[in-house]
Amino acid sequence: MLDQPAEGYVTADGRQIGPVVLELKNITLRFGGVEAIKNISFDIREGEIRAIIGPNGAGKSSMMNVISGFYVPQEGEILYKGYKRRKMPPYQVARTGIARTFQNIALFEGMSVLDNIMTGRMNLMKSGFLKQALWWGPASREEDEHREKVEKVIDFLEIQHIRKTPVARLPYGLKKRVELARALAAEPQILLLDEPMAGMNVEEKEDMSRFILDVNDEFGTTIVLIEHDMGVVMDLSDRVVVMDYGKKIGDGTPDEVRNNQDVIDAYLGVAHE
Amino acid sequence: MLYREAGDFKTSYASDNQTFPIRFDRYAYWVVMAVAFLVLPMVMNDYWANSIVVPFMIYVIAALGLNILIGYTGLLSLGTAAFMAVGAYATFKLSTAFPAMPIYLVFILSGLVTSAVGVLFGLPSLKIKGFYLAVATLAAQFFLIWLFTRYGWFFNYSSTGQISMPERSMFGVTITGATASSTAVYFTCLIFTVAMAWLARNLTRGQMGRTWMAIRDMDIAAEIIGVNPLIAKLSSFAVSSFFVGVAGALMFGVYLGAVEAGEAFGINKSFLVLFMVIIGGLGSILGSFLGAAFLVVLPVLLKILLVDNLGWPADLARHLEIMIIGALIIIVLIAEPHGMAALWRTIKEKLRLWPFPH
């Protein structure tokens, strides 16, 4: 880790990793008397796939919620693109280019797949209230322009056939994919994926892994990933943070983490004996 | 090949996004418009206009408004009638204070006044939802009606406590007041209904509508995506109240002519509009039309059938009518919880394939 230069480097498979884009410094998050996150610091580099792993209840999702602005930590600070991020509601965090998916799918069940993905472009659409009410010229044109962008995402994730289907009718695996599509439609700089492969079979996991790699490769999106499938995590990610009981117990490349004695004790444990 | 989408290829996103994607629907829409604008005014008599068509159209506007709030944004409101009263009283105050103002402008301004009041009473929605919000809007219902019957300024200190619509005309045609022809009233309501339905469709098809629906389906996820819940909820209250206010303005201005707040805009009316929205279909423009038609036309038809044709006593028929409508509401809701619009959607899906089952 120490040999990675600050301005960025090129990975073994030829991807460009940039400088640090998001840095978390001494984050502590409490719920009443419970410390969910204890004094954790780590950074995320531009263009990398950064995994957060740890046993259940380690505070991974809380960490994700801190990054996406849903929880406000009691202590510590978040530096985003070099500046300290002031306290802001989640919808403003979204506007700074951070999109996410949820552990339990959080799609809008009453809307079609297309509408769901279109909501992802919320912050990029500019037509005012009156223009939309009249639907003349600008608003209707803007809708079509954004539709075109959304169609590209739909093509990319291979969900053309369910474009007009109400989300409630979709099977689990496709819902996960639609949720990824909605996050991608926002054209985020950082994409937070909270267990994107939970509950999937091997084939679906392979598809999802491919999509994650493609997103990172084609759009240069920085990806922060929480996942329990160790095989997937070790294969996909550039660097891994390991959490246990709210503390950071390991941080480094997959190989470093795999050989870290604390991590083996706490998490990988006997499974690798 | 009546009801088919095969062969009707869409070559642009605009045409894919249009309101009626199936050619037959588009023709049907223009036929309905032609009938409404050209044929009906010729063939309709005053009784049909006054007891069915005009109230139907006014309730459509109110139902559209409430549907935006409940069906699209998921915010329950029981204060609809009070907001209609705001529209009515605003019309009264505006048209008496500025006699020269064009009456259509008065109706629209009344809608805007209601909008502002709606936003004010929508503020609790930022903190509470569901039944608790319903109770908060119930407070609006009672408070506003109390205000309008209590303070003389609202009814110009008239001795009866009623407000009555002065005679106003536009382009030489009398539109409000006792001497207004039923044709003028009909066209006023028709123009407003068509315009409001068009506005509602535009607002719900685009970014605004998706913002509202996102709040309805999962408000936390919506906020993470970038929806400002404050703006989404209050804009929904504003738009919804605008519609309801215009409906109230028309109900007072062109339909009833004279009202007393507690009587014309009581809680019963709030529930009536709520039933229209639920029966018609939450989150559907067409549903607002169907629901309003169901609850306006059905009592009249029952009355014609029972009293005029079967010769039953009027009070017996009246009670029976309440029972029948109550039963029908329950049946519709059990058969199709998503309302008549969903029923219609199912029929359409079947029609597309007809006569084949799959």
- Nearest alpha carbon to residue A99 among A209, A223, A219: A223
What are the tens digits of pLDDT across the range B290-305? 999 988 888 888 888 8
Determine, for residues B208 and A186 on separate chains, whether the beta-carbon distance falls below 8 Å. Answer: no
**Residue A147: its chain B contacts at CB < 8 A?**
13, 17
Query: What pLDDT sits at residue B1?
Result: 46
- Mean pLDDT calculated for residue range A75-95: 88
How confident is residue A4, by pLDDT bands cut at 50, 70 and 90? Answer: low
User: Within 13 Å of residue B118, how many CA atoms lie on the same side as its CB?
Assistant: 35
Q: For chain A, how far is it from start to end, CA to CA, in angstroms?
A: 26
Sheet holding A239-244, edge to edge: A98-100, A190-194, A222-226, A49-53, A239-244, A247-252
Cα separations in angstroms, A45 against A4, A83, A199, A251, B180: 11, 15, 29, 13, 73
Cis peptide bond N-terminal to A89, omega within 30: no
Regarding beta strands A83-84 and A75-80, do their DSSP bridges make them parallel or antiparallel, or are they unpaired? antiparallel
Question: What's the pLDDT score for residue B14?
Answer: 74
Name A77's bridge partners: A25
Q: Of residues A9 and A149, which shows the higher confidence score?
A: A149
- From chain B residues 187-246, the ones with a CB under 8 A of any chain A CB are 199, 202-203, 205-208, 210-211, 213-214, 216-218, 220-229, 235
Q: Give the contacts of A241 (CB within 8 A, at least 6 positions apart).
A: A42, A50, A51, A52, A53, A248, A250, A251
The Cβ of residue A23 has, within 10 Å, a number of other Cβ atoms equal to 18
pLDDT over threshold 90, residue A181: yes
Q: Which residues make Cβ contacts (< 8 Å) with residue B50, sequence separation at least 6?
A: B182, B185, B255
pLDDT digits (tens, 9 = 90+) for A48-79: 999 999 888 888 999 999 998 889 999 999 99
Q: When comparing pLDDT for B4 and B136, which is higher?
A: B136
Q: Taking CB atoms and an 8 Å cutoff, what residues of chain A touch B208? A: 129, 132
Q: Report pLDDT digits (tens) over B240-291.
A: 999 999 999 999 988 888 888 888 898 989 999 998 998 888 888 888 999 9
- What average pLDDT is seen over chain A? 86
Please say if the pLDDT value at position B94 is more than 50.
yes
CA gyration radius, chain A: 19
Residues in Cβ contact with A74 at an 8 Å cutoff, skipping those fewer than 6 apart:
A28, A29, A30
C-beta atoms of A127 and B206 within 8 A? yes
Tokens read off for A125: 């659409």
- Closest alpha carbon within chain B to A110: B217
Tokens standing for residue B38: 């050209």
- pLDDT of B193 higher than 90: yes
**DSSP calls for B261-310:** HHHHTSHHHHHHHHHHHHHH-TT-HHHHHHHHHHHHHHHHHHHIIIIIIT
Q: Which domains does chain A have, with CATH numbers?
A: 9-97+188-272 (3.40.50.300)
Q: Are B344 and B286 in contact (CB under 8 A)?
A: yes
Tell me which H or E stretch contains A193. strand A190-194
- Beta-bridge mates of residue A28: A75
pLDDT of residue A5: 72
Task: Decide if A88 touches B, using CB distance below 8 A.
Answer: no
Cα distances (Å, whole numbers) of residue A47 to A7, A51, A100 = 12, 13, 16
pLDDT at B13 over 80: no
pLDDT given for residue A55 in this prediction: 86
Tell whether the model's pLDDT for residue A268 goes beyond 60: no
Model pLDDT, residue A271: 47
Question: How crowded is residue B355: how many other Cβ atoms within 10 Å of its Cβ?
Answer: 6
How much is the average pLDDT of A177-197? Answer: 91
Q: Which amino acid is at A94?
A: A
Q: What share of chain B is helix, strand, coil (3-state, %, to 5)?
A: 75, 0, 25
Contacts of A106 in chain B (CB under 8 A): 218, 220-221, 224
Look at B226 and A147 and tell me if their CB atoms are within 8 Å. Answer: no
pLDDT digits (tens, 9 = 90+) for A201-218: 888 899 999 999 999 988
Mutate to test the interface with A, among B73, B115, B196, B207 (most CBs of A within 10 A): B207
Percent of chain B with pLDDT over 90: 28
Please answer whether residues B29 and B285 qualify as being in contact, where contact means their C-beta atoms are separated by less than 8 angstroms.
no
What's the pLDDT tens digit per position in B157-176? 888 878 888 888 778 777 77
User: What is the residue-averaged pLDDT of chain B?
Assistant: 86
Torsion over CA: A142, A109, B73, B71 (sign): positive
Is residue B52 scored above 70 in pLDDT?
Answer: yes
What SS3 class is residue A17?
A: strand
Collect all residues of chain B within an 8 Å Cβ-Cβ radius of residue A185. Answer: none
Write the DSSP assignment of B8-72 as a string of letters. ----SHHHHT-S--SHHHHHHHHHHHHIIIIIHHHH--HHHIIIIIHHHHHHHHHHHHHHIIIII
Using CB atoms, pick whichever of B202, B217, B227 lies closest to residue A109.
B217
How many beta carbons lie within 10 A of that of residue B311, not counting itself? 8
Helix (H) or strand (E) holding A114: helix A113-119
Give pLDDT, residue A3. Answer: 56
Tell me what the mean pLDDT of segment B107-125 comes to. 92
Q: pLDDT tier at A270 (50, 70, 90 boundaries)?
A: low
Q: pLDDT confidence of B358, banded at 50, 70, 90?
A: low
